[in-house]
Structure 1
Amino acid sequence: MRDRVRHDRESILDVALSLLDAYGLPDLTMRRLAAELGVQPSALYWHVESKQALLAGLADRIVAEAAPAADVAGAARALRAALLSHRDGAEVVLSSAALSLGALGAHDALRAAFAREHRPDPELAARVLLPFVLGHASLVQQRIQAAEFGAVPAEPATVAEATAADFDAGVAAILAGLPT
C-alpha cells in the first residue's frame, strides 16, 4: 500500500506558490496543483473553497514577506519588493485586493506606517497609496515578462532596478499631495 501524504491549507499554499513562481498565474490551475500534490482536484476543496480563495491565500503570503519599515516610503518599497519577488505576484495581490478576498496586510502595513508618521487619516492615505504600489509593480512585472520574450530591449533581471527611481518619485509625489 502506498503511503499517503496528508495535506493541509499551508502545504497546499506552499506548493501553489512554487507553481506560481515556476509557471506564472495563467498556468496555476487547480488541476496542475492537484497533480503536483498527487491528489484529485476535488480533494483541494477541503482546504481551499475556490481558486479565488487559493489566490487570496497566496496574496496574503506574498504580502507577509514585506519587510517591516519605519516610514511610509520604506513600507511602500518593502511591499513592492515582496510583490516583485514572485512571478505574477503583483497580479495575484491586485486581484485579491480588488475583490477584498486577501492581501489586507498590504493596506494594513501602509496604514500603520502612516499612523507612525502621525499623518492625518492613515486609512485614507493607505487607500490612496496602495493602488499606486500595486499598479506600478504590475507594470514592472509585465515589462519583465516582455523582456523575457524579447518584446522589449531590456534584460529581465534589470527591469525592477531600472524602475525603482520612478517608483520612489511616484511615492514621493503622492506623499507630497496628502495632508500632513
Structure 2
Amino acid sequence: MRHHRDDVVRHALGVLDTYGLADLTMRRLAGDLDVRPSALYHHFRDKQSLLAAVADEVLRRGARPVSATAWDEQVVEICSGLRDALLAYRDGAELVSTVIAFGLGASQPYDDLVAALAPARLGEDLAATAARTLLHLVLGHTLDEQTHLQAGSAGAIGDGPRPRSDFAAGLGLVVDGIRLRAATGTSDRLDQRA
C-alpha cells in the first residue's frame, strides 16, 4: 500500500502521542505503516525533516485566530494558543523546541509574535528578542508541565498532577516588561550588559 506524505505525518503524530518523542523512529513508523523504512525516505530525507513536518502539523492543528486588537493582548492570545497546541500532544513542547532549535521549521509562532509586537515600536532587534523570549517561556513552561505530568504518571516521582498552572502569571510578567520597555522609549536598543 502506498502512503502519501500527509498519511505519514498523520500516523507519526499518532505514534508521538501514544509512545512519545523518543519512540518516534523511522523504523517504528515504517513497521506501523507496513512498509520498509526506506519507503519513508521517499517523503522525508531524514528523521529531522519528518519531525519538522510533525511539529508543523501540531502547530497547524492547534492554530486559532487571534481576536484581540491591542498588541499586548494579541501576544497573550498567541502564547496561550501555542501552549494549548503543545499540550494537546504528548511531548509536543519537546518536539517543537527541538525543531525550532535545529532551525528546521515550526517558525509560525515566532513570526506571529513578531507581527503582534510591531505596534509596540520596540525596534527590529528588540522585537525579535521579545518574540524569542516569549517563545522560550511558552516552550520551557510547557515542557516542564509535560515532563512533570508524564513522570508522575509513570511513577518516576511521587507527585501527582499540579493543582494549577502559573503560566498566565509568568506570561503576564514578561508582557509587562515588554510593555514597560515600549512605554519608556528605551526600546530601540538592547541592554548589552548580559
TM category, shorter: 0.7 to 0.9
The answer for the alignment partner of 2:164 in structure 1 is 162
The answer for the alignment partner of 1:119 in structure 2 is 120
Q: Which has the higher contact order (CA 8 A, sep 6+)?
A: 2
2:86 match: secondary structure: helix
The answer for the alignment partner of 1:79 in structure 2 is 82
Q: Per-residue deviation at 1:43?
A: 0.7
CA deviation map 1:97-124 (0-9, x unaligned): 0011011012122223323xx1124433
Q: Point out the structure with max Rg over C-alpha.
A: 2
The answer for the alignment partner of 2:65 in structure 1 is 68
Structure 1's unaligned 5+ residue stretches are none
AA of the residue aligned to 1:172:
G
The answer for the alignment partner of 1:153 in structure 2 is 159
Q: Per-residue deviation at 1:173?
A: 1.1
TM-score by length of 1: 0.87
AA of the residue aligned to 2:35:
V
Q: Per-residue deviation at 1:9?
A: 1.4
2:103 match: secondary structure: coil
The range that moved more, 12-21 or 100-109, is 100-109
Structure 2's unaligned 5+ residue stretches are 69-73, 183-194
AA of the residue aligned to 2:152:
A
AA of the residue aligned to 1:73:
V
The answer for the alignment partner of 1:138 in structure 2 is 143
The answer for the alignment partner of 1:172 in structure 2 is 172
AA of the residue aligned to 1:105:
Q
C-alpha distance in structure 2 between counterparts of 1:133 and 1:78, whole Å: 10
C-alpha distance in structure 1 between counterparts of 2:106 and 2:130, whole Å: 17
The answer for the alignment partner of 1:99 in structure 2 is 102
Q: Per-residue deviation at 1:146?
A: 1.4
Match of 2:25 among 1, 24, 29: 29
1:162 match: secondary structure: coil
CA deviation map 1:63-95 (0-9, x unaligned): 222322231111101000000100000000000
- Aligned-residue identity in percent: 45
**What's the Cα RMSD here?**
1.4
